[in-house]
């Protein structure tokens, strides 16, 4: 696999990025387009539980919610996936059998990434052997900050190989720790050239998590990679996206940067479990003209 010339990674025009974002956030969306966008966003969510207090019962409840978001609203899509720790993958796979929902698993010593290559491979192997369709790995940010870019590249390539041909790899940059937009672009390029199927902003465990400017930089990296290779890479902003208005702004950003081909859950995801209920409330409002109480929506 040809490695990236790290010295030639494009530099980011921060003023230009901020101008693009200000124009996106000022946009208004008409009712029909808004409803279409809400349905689209719902189908792009990875419902997630990644807590130390997770239990099999909690994972089962999350899987049920993914399939039954609001049975009183007709024709709702499901979410895209359920994301859990490797030891709960088998439970999620069993609960979602016969559906189109994917099971994603974090791996590689999530969320810190601070462990040995052997442990990271075992973590990944557990997820894959238990039936995960997708693996969300974290990069070694300490190595990245030390300038050991080839180490980061090789580790991603190692995990991608462990995933095999049928398991998609999402690479989490933890952009809140990466620093500048230039460094976000560099980390994005390293991940894609090393074999990432998706690049993902954050673990959701630190702040800031996903932001529109960071996501735009990553989308532009995906666009340039596609122009150079013809390979479509997915994007997953995660953490801090809790309302429908913001989700629709992300979708606008994707459409205007990458085009409509990326507006499916095969190539775009939200890592934001709390987003689902707000989207459901907005859909109900669009259909009935009134808001339903949050008591009508599962908190799981």
Active site residues: 136, 200, 236
Backbone angles phi, psi at 27, to 5 degrees: -75, 140
218 touches 188 (CB < 8 A): yes
Q: How far is CA 66 from CA 46, 47, 78, 209, 227, in A?
A: 9, 7, 6, 23, 35
Centre a 10 Å sphere on the Cβ of residue 37 and count the other Cβ atoms it contains: 22
Closest CA to 39 of 210, 235, 244: 244
119 touches 137 (CB < 8 A): no
Report how far residue 108's alpha carbon sits from residue 113's, in angstroms, rounded to the nearest whole number.
6
């Amino acid at each position: 696999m040809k490695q990236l010339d790290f010295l030639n990674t494009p530099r980011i025009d921060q003023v230009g990025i901020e101008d693009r974002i200000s124009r996106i956030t000022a946009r208004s969306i008409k009712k029909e387009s808004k409803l279409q966008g809400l349905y689209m966003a719902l189908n792009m969510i990875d419902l997630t539980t990644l807590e130390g207090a997770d239990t099999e019962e909690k994972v089962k409840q999350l899987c049920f919610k993914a399939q039954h978001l609001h049975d009183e609203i007709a024709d709702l899509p499901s979410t895209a996936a359920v994301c859990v720790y490797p030891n709960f993958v088998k439970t999620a796979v069993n609960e979602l059998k016969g559906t189109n929902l994917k099971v994603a698993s974090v791996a590689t010593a999530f969320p810190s990434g601070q462990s040995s290559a052997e442990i990271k491979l075992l973590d990944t192997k557990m997820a894959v052997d238990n039936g995960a369709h997708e693996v969300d790995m974290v990069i070694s940010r300490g190595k990245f900050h030390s300038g050991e870019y080839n180490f980061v590249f090789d580790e991603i390539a190692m995990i991608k190989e462990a995933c095999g041909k049928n398991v998609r790899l999402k690479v989490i940059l933890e952009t809140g720790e990466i620093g500048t937009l230039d460094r976000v672009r560099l980390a994005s390029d390293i991940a894609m050239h090393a074999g990432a199927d998706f690049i993902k902003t954050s673990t959701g465990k630190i702040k800031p998590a996903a932001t529109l400017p960071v996501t735009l930089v990553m989308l532009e990296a995906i666009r340039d990679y596609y122009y150079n290779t013809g390979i479509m890479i997915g994007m997953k902003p995660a953490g801090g996206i809790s309302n429908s208005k913001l989700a629709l702004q992300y979708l606008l950003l994707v459409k205007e940067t990458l085009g409509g081909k990326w507006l499916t859950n095969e190539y775009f995801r939200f890592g934001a479990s709390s987003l689902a209920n707000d989207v459901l409330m907005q859909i109900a409002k669009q259909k009935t003209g009134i808001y339903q109480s949050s008591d009508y929506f599962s908190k799981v």
